[in-house]
Amino acid sequence: MTTDTLPASANAPVTSPLIPALGNTSIVGLQWGDEGKGKIIDLLSGDYDLAVRWNGGSNAGHKVEVGANKYRFHLIPIGILRPGVTSVICSGVVIDPIKTLEEIDGLSSQGVVIESNLKLSANAQVVLPYHKLQDQLAEAKAAGGKLGTTGRGIGPCYADKANRSTAIRLADILDDGRLTEKLMRIVPEKNAILKAVYGAEALDWKPIFEQYRACGELLRPYITDTTQLLHKAWNSGKRMLFEGANAVLLDLDHGTFPFVTSSNCGTGLSVGTVLPAKAVDTTLGVVKAYSTRVGSGPFPTELNNALGEKIRERGHEYGTTTGRPRRCGWLDTVALRYSIAISGATAVSIMLLDVLSTFDELKICTGYKITDGGGVTQAVEWFPADAVELATAEPIYETLAGWSEDITAATSFKALPKNAQSYILRIEHHIGVPVKIISIGPGRHQTLIR
């Protein structure tokens, strides 16, 4: 296997033998989010015509460094950093118009061209003030049963989408009559629920109307039929890069339920984009060189000790959206095999390998010991997504020697310390798919392609 490197210039477009073979590509996180998908999306997006966000909401967060510039994303596709790429937010996303406009303003102030490059689905659901209020009040009331949500209103908005009669789409905030009718009907219903369950003060529909109609006017130039746009692009041979938010283990149906997000993260691309599954040629999974998790829920390899703290500080493991410290632990290949299987990932990108420099030894979880309801303990190699069962999992570890060298300036896989190479090869062995990309720092140029 040959080893190639990205161009030395931090701002150079990315070209490598890997990229032309990818076709339409889906980028998915294989852990509990925060894997560093933003960097990989940014690296690859320059070779695509469209960057497509298809799930989640402003609860997602990506950090991207380009030279001396640092960008933070929550809703807008990272492909927007590439002037020739059309960035599309599909109907599978729930959109907070206020946060979207804040993000547009922030990126514009950094010189990013937005006007001609951003498209929003008219069918995307709108996050409203009562969604955020319900999310925050429910989490506060939950006490010991907290799910660890971001309080951004994402779950309540998706619930209204399923409820249908209380849903408001982007197209609705462009029409005063439709928006008035819906808010006059929905807000009193929400007030009754919020008062009865949480003792909350009533909301007035009129200020919500004024604020969101104003948002609608500002967003009007971007709102379109993205289903038609994407099908035209696909039929004409345009290359598409699909940006998945959150991660497979947070998938609503297949993650560690109920400690998950409110959308399908690893399996819902066709629903979110309205493109058939055959429109995706390659799925690239992204994973940290270790494991992290934000919020509540079982985490078999968590390190509640000095080692976990060392990973957190070296990796700057604090949430992009919330600023919360992330829980840290050893890499879990049981979880990775599961995520790879259900997402269809055919290759992976290992991120933040540089964080593990200076550790004397490293551990990889290769299996679990799980105790069932009858008290019987058995070794398993398949990930149990049920949170109650997973909470009993005791990791089985393989131990490897660490390395002390600074690897952030390495220019090829073979230039890495032998122990770092061995670590990657053991991961590859346990997950059953090739490691194609290795990140050794935040810069575009600090990336090795195998």
Tokens representing 352 are 């933040």
Span 25-79, pLDDT tens digits:
999 999 999 899 989 999 999 899 999 999 999 877 777 878 788 888 999 999 9
pLDDT at 6: 32
pLDDT at 321: 65
pLDDT at 407: 97
Domains 4-121+226-449 and 125-223 share a fold: no
Q: Which residues of the chain have pLDDT under 70?
A: 1-22, 143-148, 320-321
Catalytic residue numbers read 34, 62
pLDDT at 145: 59
pLDDT at 365: 97
Domain ranges of the chain: 4-121+226-449, 125-223
pLDDT at 9: 31
Three-class SS string for the chain?
CCCEECCCCCCCCCCCCCHHHCCCEEEEECCCCCCCHHHHHHHHHCCCCEEEECCCCCCCCEEEEECCEEEEECCCCHHHHCCCCEEEECCCCEECHHHHHHHHHHHHHCCCCCCCCEEEECCCEECCHHHHHHHHHHHHHHHHHCCCCCCCCHHHHHHHHHHCCCCCEHHHHHCHHHHHHHHHHHHHHHHHHHHHHHCCCCCCHHHHHHHHHHHHHHHHHHEECHHHHHHHHHHCCCCEEEECCCCHHHCCCCCCCCCCCCCCCCCCHHHHHCCCHHHCCEEEEEEECCEEECCCCCCCCECCCHHHHHHHHHCCCECCCCCCECEEECEEHHHHHHHHHHHCCCEEEEECHHHHCCCCEEEEEEEEEEECCCCCEEEECCCCCCHHHHCCCEEEEEEEECCCCCCCCCCCHHHCCHHHHHHHHHHHHHHCCCEEEEECCCCCCCEEEC
- C-alpha distances (whole Å) from 6 to each of 162, 243, 256, 313, 414 are 44, 21, 36, 27, 15
pLDDT at 254: 94
pLDDT at 375: 80
Q: Of 100, 98, 93, 87, nearest to 42 (Cα)?
A: 87
- φ and ψ of 170, to 5 deg: -55, -40
Can you name the CATH fold of 4-121+226-449?
Adenylosuccinate Synthetase; Chain A, domain 3 (3.90.170)
CATH of 125-223, picked from 3.40.50.2000, 1.10.10.10, 3.30.460.10, 1.10.300.10, is 1.10.300.10
Vertex 116 angle, CA 112 and 120, to 5°: 100
